[in-house]
Amino acid sequence: MKDDEIITLYWERDEKAIAATEERYYSYCHSIAVNILHNTEDARECVNDTWLGAWKSIPPHRPNRLSIYLGKITRNLSLNRLKHYTAEKRGLGQGELVLSELEECIPGKNSVEQLIEEIDLAKSINRFLYAQPRQKRNIFIRRYWYLYPVRDIAASFGMSESKVTSLLFRMRNELRTHLEKEDIYI
């Protein structure tokens, strides 16, 4: 079933939408959750919560790309669960590692002013990423959006781990320079 057909089912409040969504997007959403949580059971729960989140939010939202919409819901649910684990000193490491790599480039949410500037920051990061070659952009997104481990990124792009690590290091430095040129400072 195509995305527009699935979305129509949601708008019609037809429960077949959930089954169709699961059939088409379970693997995709599960891989996002597993990359963040490193726990199959928790990932499965986040994916199930994704279907509920989609049911509650479609309508009123009508996503342009269902895969991105579901991926974002899954990612947010997984990060919230990871935050819960970290708060309980049960952190799994990968999420904090990825975020610590970016903290030199991106300001934290410590003040009201920084929260207000969040939209400008997102637009600036998008401009930076779309100016990059497709492979570099995809590597960056896999690492910092989907939280893939470096070894998995290296394997999927046929690179060594050190090359991926080096590429990400250079891109973070380029991102920092790009943000500074747009008057976004750490």
The answer for residues whose C-beta is within 8 angstroms of residue 73's C-beta and 6 or more apart is 50, 53, 54, 57
Q: What is the full per-residue pLDDT of the chain (186 aa) written as tens digits?
A: 999 999 999 999 999 999 999 999 999 999 999 999 889 999 999 999 999 999 999 989 899 999 999 999 999 999 888 887 766 444 445 566 666 676 666 555 555 555 556 778 888 999 999 999 999 999 999 998 888 899 999 999 999 999 999 999 999 999 999 988 988 775
- According to the model, what pLDDT value does residue 91 have? 43
pTM of the model: 0.69
Q: Are 22 and 70 in contact (CB under 8 A)?
A: no
Calpha distance 145→122 (Å, rounded): 12
Question: What are the structural domains, with CATH classification, of the chain?
Answer: 3-91 (1.10.1740.10), 95-181 (1.10.10.10)
Nearest to 141 by CA among 153, 131, 151: 153
The answer for residues whose C-beta is within 8 angstroms of residue 31's C-beta and 6 or more apart is 146
Calpha distance 156→102 (Å, rounded): 22
- According to the model, what pLDDT value does residue 118 have? 73
- According to the model, what pLDDT value does residue 87 have? 62
- According to the model, what pLDDT value does residue 66 have? 94
- Which alpha helices (DSSP H) does 38-146 contain, by range? 40-57, 66-87, 94-102, 112-116, 118-130, 134-144
Q: What amino acid is encoded at 118 in this protein?
A: E
The structure tokens 């991102």 sit at 175
- According to the model, what pLDDT value does residue 123 have? 87
